Chains A and B, each alone.
Chain A
Amino acid sequence: MKIRDNENLVVLGVFLALVSLLSALVLAVVSGFTSQPISAAKKAREAAALRQILPEFDNDINAETLTLESPSKWSIQVRAARKNGKVVGYAASAVNPAGYAGAVKMLAGVNPDGTIRAILVTEQHETPGLGAELCKRQFSKTIFNLTEPTPAGLPPNKYLDQFNGKNVPSGGWIISKDGGDALYATGATVTSRAIAKSASEIALAFQKSRIQLSKAFGGVK
């Protein structure tokens, strides 16, 4: 009897197991030789993001890390960027679990005085076209500037840039729909809230952990 018409359950089970085993083998081989390049690519992406949000620095930024606790008990990962041994800024990453679709991960460059320098959303699953637009940094192109070269630096985003250099109010930034004065986008209220909340948590964590920060990173090295 041909295997095509076989209806014996054991034979079918063994066949399926063999196919799965073969597929597992293929995946193991591919994952084996791609794991190195993948982690390298991830590191390169991360380094590019850090260069965008921080002033020029020359230390190994992953060497010194500190975990701060924000007012809402989130843990904020802080890394110090130094130039000639002097702290020129911090990179702070926070995960807000309350996005519209899952967590919103944020990476913020923080000035030495604790104000926010620039914000990037590094991972989000918000609605494309609505919430996702608020997290995206992209130079806007029109038919009139299509041929011009892309300007250097961080593309502007008014929802992410609104916190830059500002002192955080004691209760954090609140979007105007909820009675505060932070910008929000119609149709993407939850995402707007998540961004304002993440920015506030980072800024507030820096505000209340001044001593902890200067203990960990203070002094010229």
Chain B
Amino acid sequence: MKKIIETFCKGIWKENPVLVLLLGTCPTLALTTSATNGAGMGLATTFVLVGSNFVISCISGIVPRKIRIPVYIVVIATFVTVVDLLLQAYAPASLYAALGIFIPLIVVNCIVLGRAEAFASKHNPLLSIFDGLGMGLGFTLTLTMLGVIREFATSGSVFGVKVVTAWTTDFLLPGSAPGAFIIVGVILAVRNFLKARAAVKAGRLYVPPAGLDCRHCSICSIGKDGE
């Protein structure tokens, strides 16, 4: 039980996919122009992530190692298409209008493949579901936060509701991709600064979480051949 909670919680802050793992930067930069878009993309990804993590964790025992990546991609793509079809058919028109454009983008979102390879293929289905939930929630929260910041800095509104009514001309920088890079960069810097300061105060060196540096990650084979 403790392990489940730990798996679930680590995605939200300790191993946050956007701010720590730096996965899924493409949707992070492209789709957080407004808070609604950010939350929509996050929720759609969470759904696919939980499903693909579960399926991949179930089949990982019988997938030949050499072709695991193509197999995972097929599983994820199938899952995304099923979600897309179901949403088109049964979701209310307004929900599909808001989420529809994001769904095909999830296939190429490397959080999904990254978690399949780094977590789901090595853990049991139950833990994998919670990993998907935690990572998805972390992704959703971060994207929503970015969306709120960018939307407010662009037009003074949050979730499409104008908060500063006198703000009539949009400020275009935060809404554009370069602005997104700058904002993400500042957030990363602040996060790392806080981490490093906490480490110094505790009198130890700041080290990235285990399993997250190049030497321990298994997503590519760099540095693995010698082992």
Contacts and interface: CB of A to CB of B under 8 A. Distances in A.
B162 A128 contact: no
A30 B176 CA distance: 38
A143 B86 contact: no
Given A26-B82, A142-B163, 8 more contacts: A6-B66, A12-B64, A15-B67, A16-B71, A23-B77, A23-B78, A48-B93, A129-B175
B82 A141 contact: no
A19 interface: yes
Interface of B: 30-31, 33-34, 37, 61-67, 70-71, 74-75, 77-78, 81-82, 85-86, 88-90, 93, 96, 154, 157, 160-163, 165, 170, 172, 175-176
B160 A6 contact: no
Contact of B65 (A4, A11, A31, A142): A4
Highest count of chain A CB atoms <10 Å: which of B34, B37, B70: B70
Nearest to B160: A141
A2 B124 CA distance: 19
Nearest to B159: A141
Contact of B86 (A26, A34, A141): A34
15 contacts: A4-B61, A12-B64, A12-B67, A15-B64, A15-B67, A16-B74, A19-B75, A30-B81, A37-B89, A129-B154, A130-B176, A138-B160, A141-B162, A143-B165, A144-B165
B78 A26 contact: yes
A187 B172 contact: yes
A138 B34 CA distance: 14
Interface string A26-44: 1100110010011001001
A31 B78 CA distance: 11
Contacts of A15: 63-64, 67, 71
A37 B92 CA distance: 12
Interface in A7-60: 7, 11-12, 15-16, 19-20, 23, 26-27, 30-31, 34, 37-38, 41, 44-45, 48
Interface residues of A, number: 34
Given A27-B78, A30-B82, A38-B89, A4 B165 contact: no
B175 A41 contact: no
A178 interface: no
Contacts of A128: 30-31, 33-34, 37
A130 B177 CA distance: 12
B161 A4 contact: no
Nearest to B177: A127
Contact of A41 (B30, B70, B93, B176): B93
